[in-house]
Amino acid sequence: METVLVDPQELRTLEERPPPYLALFEHWERNQWAVSSIDFSTDAESYAGLGERERRAMAWLFAHRFHAEFNVATLLTPFLEAAPSYELELLLATQIADEYRHLQCVLRVYHDVFGVTGGIEAVRAFAQAGTDPASDCLYEALERKVHELRDDQSETTFLKAVFAYHVVAEGVVASVANRFAGSQYEKLGFPGLTEGQRRVGRDEARHIGIGIAYIRERMRLDREATSATLDEVLIETAELFNQVLELGKESVEDELAAGYGVDAEGFGAGVLQTLQVRLRSIGYLEAA
Residue 3 has pLDDT above 70, yes or no: no
Instruction: Determine the pLDDT at residue 107.
Output: 95
Percent of the chain, pLDDT > 70?
98
User: What CATH number was assigned to the domain covering residues 14-281?
Assistant: 1.10.620.20
Minimal CA–CA distance to 40: which of 190, 199, 201, 198?
190
pLDDT digits (tens, 9 = 90+) for 143-160: 899 889 999 999 999 999
Q: Measure the CA–CA gap between 106 and 108, rounded to whole angstroms.
A: 5
Instruction: Determine the pLDDT at residue 207.
Output: 97
Q: Measure the CA–CA gap between 251 and 168, rounded to whole angstroms.
A: 22
Query: Which residue ranges make up each domain of the chain?
Result: 14-281
Instruction: Determine the pLDDT at residue 268.
Output: 93
- Give the C-alpha distances (Å, rounded to integers) separating 32 from 13, 204, 241: 19, 13, 34
Sequence-distant (≥ 6) Cβ neighbours of residue 173 within 8 angstroms: 138, 271
**What is the average per-residue pLDDT within 126-139?**
86
Residue 2 has pLDDT above 80, yes or no: no
Residue 4 has pLDDT above 90, yes or no: no
Confidence of residue 95 (pLDDT cuts 50, 70, 90): very high
With contact defined as beta carbons under 8 Å apart, do 246 and 179 qualify?
A: no
Sequence-distant (≥ 6) Cβ neighbours of residue 51 within 8 angstroms: none
Residue 132 has pLDDT above 90, yes or no: no
Residue 279 has pLDDT above 70, yes or no: yes
Residue 1 has pLDDT above 70, yes or no: no
